[in-house]
Structure 1
């Protein structure tokens, strides 16, 4: 699997290199983007969205809906998904449907790592212009006064031709095995009972 940086994606597809939700307008679309009708991307990182897909074809979730993103994905949207393993390595996961589902429960929030929860509280303060302290915001999530918005990511397809053309643009990258072609997969926004009777949401992945 070959990974791509956000500046690389901007250079070879178009759109911005900083925002999470990317709209590629006609004036900035590259020939490659036009060839594969790539106009809408989402680029979450695992650091902030630990339930995002970790390999092509997986279903998952991302925690999007703060500030200006409050009304995003209320209606399902089809987008090309790139997942950041870190800030510089983004994996092409495939074409996905993104739609808003029920926010995280208190137990689901508590299941996230301390670092993820702290980062989300900082994002809440920044994006929502919340006047409370980070500690107060954290407590509000702990008791369910604030809820983390959640978006279900369902894999629709993986276009190998698009992947290999994008890979070819990165000629300096040593050859590696290509991704497994994903079957059509559907997600489930239900709940599973985890160990200790803790209710944890999980994406359902077909074998």
Structure 2
């Protein structure tokens, strides 16, 4: 008989979905990928920040590497002068095509689906990143726009309803991405992986990205450098003509190209937090 005076322990959420914890025989081919570290807090959707000034310009990954320095998702290597001047050390690139919850204009918050394979080790602790969102495509290349500084933190995987909001094409594409990134799932075909998402055996990983501030100085420096305007120009005259043409195009981004981005920015811009961290090497060059 239970002791009526014994305090009740709080209920704990299971680390697997109800579908995976059903009375059916377990699927030995499917690893438990939900909450591999601990039960994460739920995603918080933050209200957008109203902005009044911005520099909307899109860049290819190669152009941004030329301007800021090379590197993968995390630390910028071989810092270029612009990155050193504005203290750009950590960058997050995210395509809006594979991440429907990714911010599409400066001031917005949202989430990205990072956490497959070894990426599950990212953002275990909150990090500050400069976010570049892939909002447009140019000749098959994803073009990235500067969104601002963001707090990035891992959150509880998204519910099945978020998976069902995706089109069939998007689901198959992400299932293929899951197969490529997850070693234990490479023996499964893409349609089977998709069915596991639909049944709640696999979940979309989630990293919350909360808007902090927009570095207008960095955005202007990137726009003024505009290395994309000099691509594929073999002579000085061609480069000059191409620069004028592309500046006219870049300077007036249409609504369809910018996917709803506006030329609005916030008074809360804080250039001081980065202006005081200029590289000594850069100062000597001047």
Taking structure 1 as the reference length, the TM-score comes to 0.81
What's the CA shift for 1:176?
4.2
Alpha-carbon contact 1:125-1:134 (below 8 Å) kept: yes
What's the CA shift for 1:91?
0.7
Alpha-carbon contact 2:59-2:143 (below 8 Å) kept: yes
Deviations 1:109-155 (A, max 9, x none): 11122222111100110010211111111111111111111111100
Alpha-carbon contact 2:90-2:130 (below 8 Å) kept: yes
| 1:116 maps onto 2:116 in alignment | no
Aligned length: 179
What's the CA shift for 1:102?
1.3
What's the CA shift for 1:6?
0.6
Alpha-carbon contact 2:129-2:152 (below 8 Å) kept: yes
Select the residue among 44, 55, 71 that pairs with 2:94: 44
Correspondence for 2:63: 8
What's the CA shift for 1:22?
3.4
Task: Give the alignment of 1:88-167 within 5 angstroms.
Answer: 88-129=142-183, 130=185, 131-167=187-223
Task: Give the alignment of 1:67-82 within 5 angstroms.
Answer: 67-82=117-132
Larger % of strand: which?
1
Select the residue among 160, 180, 183 that pairs with 2:264: 180
3-state secondary structure, aligned to 1:78: strand
Larger % of helix: which?
2
Unaligned runs of 5+ in 2: 1-55, 230-242, 254-261, 269-286
Taking structure 2 as the reference length, the TM-score comes to 0.59
Deviations 1:82-127 (A, max 9, x none): 0001343111000001111111111111112222211110011001
Find the aligned partners of 1:179 and 1:14 in 2 and give their Cα distance: 27
Unaligned runs of 5+ in 1: 185-207
Alpha-carbon contact 2:112-2:206 (below 8 Å) kept: yes
What RMSD, in angstroms, separates the aligned Cα atoms of the two structures? 1.7
3-state secondary structure, aligned to 2:94: coil
3-state secondary structure, aligned to 2:197: helix
Find the aligned partners of 2:112 and 2:221 in 1 and give their Cα distance: 27
3-state secondary structure, aligned to 2:170: helix
Find the aligned partners of 1:90 and 1:82 in 2 and give their Cα distance: 6
Correspondence for 2:23: none
Alpha-carbon contact 1:56-1:182 (below 8 Å) kept: no
Find the aligned partners of 2:266 and 2:153 in 1 and give their Cα distance: 20
Alpha-carbon contact 1:15-1:22 (below 8 Å) kept: no
3-state secondary structure, aligned to 1:83: strand
Q: Determine which structure has greater relative contact order: mean sequence separation of CA pairs < 8 Å that are 6+ residues apart, divided by chain length.
A: 2
What's the CA shift for 1:161?
1.1
Select the residue among 65, 74, 77 that pairs with 1:22: 74
